[in-house]
Amino acid sequence: METPEEKIMTDAFEVGMRIHRTLGPGLFESVYETIFCHEMAKLGYNVRRQVEVGIEWDGLVIEKAFRIDVLVEELVVFEFKATAEVHPIHFMQLKTHVVLAKKRLGAVMNYGLKLFKDGFQRFVNGLPQ
């Protein structure tokens, strides 16, 4: 049985592929992010952009520790990139955001490559395998 997170991820990948096929690489990250949110909302998803997330460290609360590019249905984290190379730090950033936001699934979506699938990286944090 497909989890809600996996359904979101499937739809997100398809939306991302369609955007990339139509526009190609070379635009600002924010353009892809805005269109992605618009398309996911058209599919009926609750989508939030630039979500500020706080963390706690040894009793110290930092209210704005980082920003999630896109959060869908309060379940899945998406980090957007538009770079010509895949950098390991992008995946590490996603992993940190998913774990600290206490979510179970996320993905980097890099629109700067020739093939969208080469810039799409998932991170699973506790979903059933």
Residue 106, classified by CB atoms within 10 Å of its CB into exposed (0-12), middle (13-18) or buried (19+), is buried
* Per-residue model confidence (pLDDT) at position 48: 98
* Per-residue model confidence (pLDDT) at position 128: 62
**Does residue 129 have a pLDDT over 70?**
no
pTM score of the predicted model: 0.93
As beta bridge partners, residue 124 has 105
Do residues 86 and 111 make contact, with C-beta atoms less than 8 angstroms apart?
no
Q: What's the whole-number mean pLDDT along residues 2-30?
A: 96
Do residues 28 and 83 make contact, with C-beta atoms less than 8 angstroms apart?
no
Beta strands (DSSP E) in 58-99 are: 60-72, 76-81
Q: Where are the domains of the chain?
A: 4-124
Give the model confidence (pLDDT) of 51-74 as tens digits. Answer: 999 999 999 999 999 999 999 999
